[in-house]
């Protein structure tokens, strides 16, 4: 590849970047070693209800992140999320993410991640060069040396796959962070304080590591101690607070779904016969990563743009602060994927003119 856009990552961030870069007239290569976490996205945030607003969405995201978020990134995400309702035929369900002031999680059949990925891939069929392999930092340095005009987009997702008990596949271990540093970009918040735990992850059986959706806490579900006793004064805490509460009782809890209506369980793709599930918090989302600006340029330690390097999705830092609001992982991947692809294609045009 001598010019064009080279994307590492085949989740929603990577494919949205591919679509936007193609729309901007670029030749696109996308390399991935799996499909990442994106096919597991049930629902994502988009303020669709009359009682909701972009401003409320911004405030909920900042509050959830303990006001340690990068505000321009949050504002960009929340404002751009509005266009998602024109792009996707959401099915009318609006779930209430824990920690949010109003219901805001929209979807298509509780599978927006898999459905959106399928739709994008079908639209781009034959127009993107797709390679299935693992990319290393040496590979991107070699590419950079051989083809300095190529715009590189890092969309390699988070790093929670490095933990034994995690909701992520083991190949998501932060390779993109090593690539970014090799190319001169800065990282931030790549410590344990910026690992978000999913509070209610199955601990046993063939589904070990698979989360049980927390929005059920708004549908009558309860969290109990292993002995079956109530321990939460308010179950509608954010994910971080719920995880801390479960660690406070020894690290495991029983998720009691007996009061949840059967149709709600079916909607969430749960087996209605399964009413009591043993759960524990597990590393789920990484909140830190590559430092970017609101156009997804990777920045160096002085805050300067690293020429020709973009990043989007869970590999980046800043948008979620200290705690990601449920539903914002999908929205961030969608929104910043598109921005990264568009800006990388623009950069190519500027270089060529
Ligand atoms: C079980 C589960 C359920 C979730 N549900 C929701 C939800 O309902 N709503 C929500 O908003 N968020 C949810 N999230 C979070 C959400 O899935 C992520 O934030 C989002 O998918 C990140 O998208 P991404 O494109 O940045 O990364 P990913 O989708 O993880 O994609 C990363 C890509 O990079 C590739 N890659 C990584 N390293 C390399 C390498 N060295 N070489 C080549 N390729 C590489 C991977 O193969 C993959 O293609 C969930 C997460 C999990 C684990």
Residues 243 and 328 in one domain: no
Residues 206 and 320 in one domain: no
Residues 80 and 154 in one domain: yes
Residues 160 and 205 in one domain: no
Of 184, 132, 202, nearest to 306 (Cα)?
184
Q: Whose CA is nearest to atom 52 of ligand 1?
A: 37
Best mutation site among 36, 105, 159, 334 for ligand 1, i.e. most ligand atoms within 8 A of its Cβ? 36
| Contact indicator for 97, 104 with CB cutoff of 8 Å | yes
Residues 161 and 265 in one domain: no
- pLDDT top residue among 56 and 214: 56
Its pTM stands at 0.93
- pLDDT top residue among 100 and 269: 100
Query: Which residues does a 6 A CB cutoff place in the pocket of ligand 1?
Result: 8-14, 31-38, 40-44, 134-135, 155-157, 167-168, 171-172, 175-176, 211, 284-285, 313-314, 327-330, 333
Of 302, 348, 308, nearest to 183 (Cα)?
308
Per-residue pLDDT reduced to its tens digit, 60-87:
999 999 999 999 999 999 999 999 999 9
Structural domain includes residue 166: yes
Residues 232 and 319 in one domain: no
Say how many Å lie between the CA of residue 236 and the centre of ligand 1.
Answer: 25
State the DSSP code for 279: E
Structural domain includes residue 158: yes
Quote the CA–CA distance of 17 and 315 in Å, as a whole number.
14
Geometric angle at alpha carbon 262, from 260 and 263, rounded to 5°: 110
Q: Whose CA is nearest to atom 49 of ligand 1?
A: 10
Which atom of ligand 1 lies closest to the CA of 9? 34
Structural domain includes residue 194: no
The residues near 69 (Cβ < 8 Å, ≥ 6 apart) are 61, 62, 318, 319, 320, 321
Q: Whose CA is nearest to atom 26 of ligand 1?
A: 313
Statement: residue 215 has pLDDT above 90: no
CATH code for the domain in which residue 173 is found: 3.50.50.60
Of 268, 293, 346, nearest to 110 (Cα)?
268
Please state the rounded mean pLDDT for residues 264-275. 89
Structural domain includes residue 135: yes
How many folded domains does the chain comprise?
2
Domain boundary among the residues 265, 281, 297 is at: 281
Structural domain includes residue 40: yes
Say how many Å lie between the CA of residue 228 and the centre of ligand 1.
Answer: 34
Residues 205 and 170 in one domain: no
Residues 317 and 344 in one domain: yes
CA 120 to mean position of chain CA atoms: 17
Per-residue pLDDT reduced to its tens digit, 83-139:
999 999 999 989 988 789 999 999 999 999 999 999 999 999 999 999 999 999 999
Residues 329 and 240 in one domain: no
| Contact indicator for 194, 160 with CB cutoff of 8 Å | no
Residue pointed to by tokens 């960009």? 76
Domain boundary among the residues 221, 253, 281 is at: 281
Token pair for 131? 């390679």
Domain span at residue 346 reads: 5-189+287-352
Of 275, 278, 258, 284, nearest to 205 (Cα)?
278
Residues 149 and 236 in one domain: no
pLDDT at position 234: 77
Say how many Å lie between the CA of residue 12 and the centre of ligand 1.
Answer: 7
Per-residue pLDDT reduced to its tens digit, 308-342:
999 999 999 999 999 999 999 999 999 999 999 99
Residues 140 and 266 in one domain: no
**Three-state SS at 122:** helix
| Contact indicator for 249, 276 with CB cutoff of 8 Å | no
Domain boundary among the residues 239, 258, 281 is at: 281
- pLDDT top residue among 217 and 113: 113
CATH code for the domain in which residue 232 is found: 3.90.700.10
Residues 28 and 137 in one domain: yes
- Cα 247 to Cα 165, 168, 198, 225, 313, distances in angstroms: 15, 20, 12, 11, 28
């Amino acid at each position: 590849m001598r010019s064009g856009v080279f994307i590492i990552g085949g989740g929603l961030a990577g494919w949205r970047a591919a679509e936007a870069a193609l729309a901007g007239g670029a030749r696109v290569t996308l390399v991935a070693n799996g499909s990442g976490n994106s096919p597991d996205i049930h629902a994502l945030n988009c303020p669709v209800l009359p009682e909701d607003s972009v401003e409320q969405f911004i405030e909920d995201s900042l509050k959830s992140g303990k006001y340690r978020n990068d505000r321009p990134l949050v504002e960009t995400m929340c404002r751009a999320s509005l266009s998602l309702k024109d792009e996707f035929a959401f099915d009318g369900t609006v779930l209430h993410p824990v920690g949010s002031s109003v219901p805001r999680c929209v979807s298509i059949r509780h599978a927006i991640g898999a459905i959106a990925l399928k739709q994008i891939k079908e639209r781009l069929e034959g127009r993107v060069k797709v390679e299935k392999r693992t990319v290393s930092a040496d590979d991107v340095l070699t590419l950079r040396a051989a083809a300095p005009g190529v715009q590189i987009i890092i969309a390699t997702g988070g790093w929670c796959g490095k933990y034994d008990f995690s909701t992520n596949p083991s190949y998501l271990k932060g390779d993109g962070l090593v690539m970014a540093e090799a190319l001169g970009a800065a990282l931030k918040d790549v410590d344990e304080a910026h690992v978000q735990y999913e509070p209610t992850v199955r601990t046993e059986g063939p589904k070990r590591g698979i989360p049980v959706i927390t929005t059920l806490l708004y549908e009558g579900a309860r969290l109990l101690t292993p002995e079956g006793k109530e321990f939460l004064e308010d179950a509608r805490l954010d994910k971080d607070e719920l995880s801390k509460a479960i660690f406070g009782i020894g690290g495991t809890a029983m998720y009691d779904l007996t009061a949840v209506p059967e149709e709600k369980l079916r909607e969430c793709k749960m087996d209605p016969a399964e009413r009591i599930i043993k759960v524990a918090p597990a590393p789920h989302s990484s909140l830190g990563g590559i430092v970017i600006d609101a156009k997804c340029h990777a920045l160096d330690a002085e805050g300067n743009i690293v020429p020709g390097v973009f990043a989007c999705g869970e590999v980046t830092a800043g948008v979620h602060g200290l705690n990601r609001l449920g539903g914002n992982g999908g929205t961030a991947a969608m929104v910043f994927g598109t921005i990264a692809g568009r800006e990388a294609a623009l950069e190519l045009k500027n270089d060529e003119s």
